[in-house]
Amino acid sequence: MSQIYASFKSIGAYVPEKILSNADLETMVDTTDEWILKRTGIKERHIAADDEVTSDMGAKAARLAIDRADIDKEEIDLVLCATVTPDYFNMPSTACIISDKLGIKNVQAFDISAACSGFVYLLTVAKAFVESGMKKNVLIVGAEKFSSIVDYTDRSTCILFGDGAGAAIISATSKKEEAFVDVHASADGSYADFLVTPAPGTVNPVSQKVLDEGLQYVQMKGNETFKLAVKTLTKDVKEILAKNEINSDEIPHFIPHQANYRIIKAVGDALKMKEEQVVLTVGKYGNTSAASIPMAINDIWESGRLQNGELMLLDTFGGGLTWASALLPFAGKAK
């Protein structure tokens, strides 16, 4: 029997219409366009409509990914969603709702929670399901309505985050040249307080205290997270390249999590990446957490920059703390 590999067949994304610019934020909190641009590289971010929920965005991205993979939705046998802003905090999972919105019936569906690392975590899960022979076509979705947990009076966080979704189809293949080269994911829960949404949950069930203290909003130790992100990502990405005996100049597309331009630049410089190798969307989308990497992949696909067989190097870092990296060829059709 021939070996089965996981391959990255297609990409899709959805960006909500409404834009929140730095100029808009200047009217909301004590900040300036200049500060935001200099410290983060962000010019604007997109915000979902009031009645637009995470599964709506995820389903829109997923429809594109399914169309572009040239498969019928009936061929999908697993639906996974990475999000920390689910439609419902307890149940049902956003993956179940996305499946229903797509008319995908009777297949396994569940969410994972790995914050900004969610999409790359999903690659590890999809790879395991596909390469064990349990599933053939996995729909993976990273979708976030981060605006629903942002305190728009907190200048240290509200300037960073945006909403959106990205999706991909991961399929079984017997062709080694289409296979994921490597994926790696890790976590360290001792840094849980670096990035946390204190409520709702068993630590802080919904109560008047939660609302009075704003515990439903994301809190971040920004500077500490920044420093650890640079250190961890640089080490992680160097390791995945060394382990697979690939030089950074052989990577046409370095697609990092889009949290802060300065983090991306520091890691890119440590790897001696040239500007044209590094995919940057943080300026126009901000940090969209689990949606950030697939939205960035979609950007280069839609602009015709991503060709069949080209290597992508992904890296990400987020709440948990979690981090992950992946090295894989794009095994789908170019635009």
Q: Which residue in 324, 316, 321, 309 sits closest to 7, CA to CA?
A: 309
**Selected catalytic residue, list 46, 184, 253, 257:** 257
223 binds ligand UT7 (CB under 6 A): yes
Count CB neighbours of 170 within 10 A: 30
State which of positions 18-47 bind ligand UT7 (CB under 6 A): 31, 35-36, 39-40
Among 198, 200, 222, 252, binds ligand UT7 (CB under 6 A): 222
CA distance 193 to 248: 33
Amino acid in the structure at residue 29? V
**Does residue 98 contact residue 331 with C-beta atoms inside 8 Å?**
no
Q: Which is nearer to ligand UT7, 109 or 259 (CB)?
A: 259
Q: Which is nearer to ligand UT7, 34 or 67 (CB)?
A: 34
CA 55 to chain centre: 15
* Active-site residue flag, 106: no
Q: Sort strands 78-82 and 137-145 into parallel, antiparallel or unpaired.
A: parallel
**Selected catalytic residue, list 81, 96, 116, 158:** 116
> Does the bond joining 294 to the residue before it have cis omega, within 30 degrees of 0?
no
Q: Which is nearer to ligand UT7, 40 or 171 (CB)?
A: 40
CA distance 318 to 292: 11
Least Å from the CB of residue 22 to ligand UT7: 9
* Active-site residue flag, 257: yes
CA distance 328 to 293: 14
85 binds ligand UT7 (CB under 6 A): no
Angle (CA) 188 286 278, round 5°: 80
Binding pattern for the stretch 101-140 against ligand UT7, x by CB under 6 A and - elsewhere: ---------------x------------------------
285 binds ligand UT7 (CB under 6 A): no
How many residues bind to ligand UT7 according to rule CB under 6 A? 20
Where along the sequence are the contacts to ligand UT7 (CB under 6 A)?
Answer: 31, 35-36, 39-40, 116, 155-156, 159, 222-223, 225-226, 229, 259-260, 263, 287, 317-318
